Chains A and B, each alone.
Chain A
Amino acid sequence: MPKKPPSFAQSFQELEDITAWFDSQENVDLDQGLKKFERGLELAGQLKKKLSEVENKVEEIKKKFAE
């Protein structure tokens, strides 16, 4: 089964984590920093792409509700 692509929430969380990582470092390791920065840019690109999705899907539940 193909792996489910990460949700918007997951990608956003990862980007937040990267931002937090930079804030938590007293001396940012340049190698690690550059890698994380690149990953951050990649995530930002994916997230922005998802933001451009316009439609919400509405599906009516075919059921008569009662107690």
Chain B
Amino acid sequence: MTTLSVGQYLDLVNQSLRVIPPDILVEGEVSDFRVAQNKWISFDLKDEKAQAVLKCFMTTWQLKVQIEDGMRVRVSGYSKVYERFGTLKLNVQDIEPVGEGALKRAYELLKKKLADEGLFDLARKRDLPRFPERVGLITSRDAAAYGDFLQILNNRWGGVDVQFAHVHVQGREAVGEIVGALAHFNVLSEGDRPDVLVLTRGGGGLEDLHAFNDEQVARAVYASKIPVVCGVGHERDESLCDYVADSRASTPSNAAERVVPSREEVKYEIENMVSHVDGQLEDAILGREQIIERATNAFEKIFQRQKDRLVHLRETLSLKTDKWLPWFRERVNDVERLLRQVDPTRVLARGYSIVKVGGKVVRGVASLEVGSEIAVQFAAGSADARVCRINGRGQQRFV
């Protein structure tokens, strides 16, 4: 018989416990989940049917998924009896939710945590370059996503330099490889760095998509200096990387559509710009023509006004002439009538005669001498005569 102290005995127990292979997984339901000082995690793992409890212990940095009470999990690690409390505890090395319900719950919890931290903020999303020259593609060469992406890329656009990083998109290596590939592109010098990164894979259940829902991968996408497009699975599928990425594509093909424009659209746009500029230039020329036309019109108006004035003047003038002419005619008639009245031939016709000496009309006797010759003009004919007496004096009158 050997006698041991309690401590010695517990050491022996602990040594015996190491015989248990480390790859054994223990499955149960989480209860009494606690975090102390943001560092130490403790919870009970229970069987629902048999009333069995396994006390578990781990640190926060070991915990890569979100755990809460009621969740079904599988844990691995090694057990130890803690001397001070005399209790057996499982030191958890790895823990993973089991079943779609638990995975979904873990996913929701992590999603909320990252959202609260601001990893999904729309304000931090960067615009993708419209015409990328270099694209970093992160996916598996064996996945349909690889072929789909490149096919759509070729259909839409050409001349892109695709740098392809082959990674596992599921399984144990996936997280490390994806994080490594993101790091590879980000440490390149600015000149060699791709313009955009594409992280893509086909669809699947939560278990298949675990790498795209991994906190480490999500944080690496968040930290990327190069804009990231994430495209996972089919239309309905979503992953945490989708939310963190700058652009979220619904499928690998859609990722290609987001990364490059379509030739046809760009061609149409170029043609539109040219015809727009062409139209603008034509408008400018038309504008000049209109100015010239307006000036011509203005000159024409001035000429027309002058012409109108001339016509008006002429009209006014002829109107005045019309008034003046009858008046003038009347005056002429008056004078004519007057002249006609004083016409000496008419006086003679009435029996008067005109006496002239040396061609001059005699108006009185002063210019006459007795015996001088005078000419007498009658209405019909004329006669020469001699003056016998002037006012009764002169030659004797013959009786």
**B158 and A53 form a contact (CB under 8 A):** yes
Interface positions, chain B 164-214, Cβ under 8 Å from A, are: 164-167, 173, 175-181, 184
- Give CA–CA (A15, B281) in the complex, Å: 15
Chain B: residues with Cβ within 8 Å of the partner, total of 46
**A7 and B131 form a contact (CB under 8 A):** yes
- Give CA–CA (A37, B274) in the complex, Å: 8
Known: A9-B130, A37-B278. A56 touches B157 (CB 8 A): yes
**A28 and B162 form a contact (CB under 8 A):** no
**A44 and B280 form a contact (CB under 8 A):** no
Residue of B nearest to A52 (CB): B158
Residue of A nearest to B150 (CB): A58
Residue of A nearest to B178 (CB): A65
Known: A37-B281, A58-B164, A61-B163. A44 touches B270 (CB 8 A): yes
- Give CA–CA (A8, B261) in the complex, Å: 12
Q: Which residues of B contact A12 (CB under 8 A)?
A: 130-131, 266, 270
Q: Which residues of B contact A19 (CB under 8 A)?
A: 273, 276-277
- Give CA–CA (A41, B249) in the complex, Å: 35
**A56 and B162 form a contact (CB under 8 A):** yes
**B267 and A48 form a contact (CB under 8 A):** yes
When the two chains form the complex, which single residue of B163, B164, B266, B274 contacts A40, counting CB atoms closer than 8 Å?
Answer: B274
Q: Which residues of B contact A48 (CB under 8 A)?
A: 267, 270
**B153 and A60 form a contact (CB under 8 A):** no
Give A18-41 as 1s and 0s: 1 = Cβ < 8 Å from B's Cβ atoms: 110011010110100110110011
B7 adjacent to chain A (CB < 8 Å): no
Q: Which residues of B contact A67 (CB under 8 A)?
A: 175-176, 179-180
**A65 and B180 form a contact (CB under 8 A):** yes
Known: A23-B280, A66-B177. A54 touches B274 (CB 8 A): no
Q: Which residues of B contact A23 (CB under 8 A)?
A: 280
Residues of A within 8 A of B (CB): 7-9, 12, 15-16, 18-19, 22-23, 25, 27-28, 30, 33-34, 36-37, 40-41, 44, 47-48, 50-61, 63, 65-67
Q: List 11 A-B contacts (CB under 8 A).
A: A7-B133, A12-B131, A22-B276, A22-B277, A22-B280, A25-B280, A40-B277, A44-B271, A44-B274, A65-B167, A67-B180
Residues of B within 8 A of A (CB): 129-131, 133, 137, 141, 150, 153-154, 157-167, 173, 175-181, 184, 263, 266-267, 270-271, 273-274, 276-278, 280-281, 283-285, 287-288
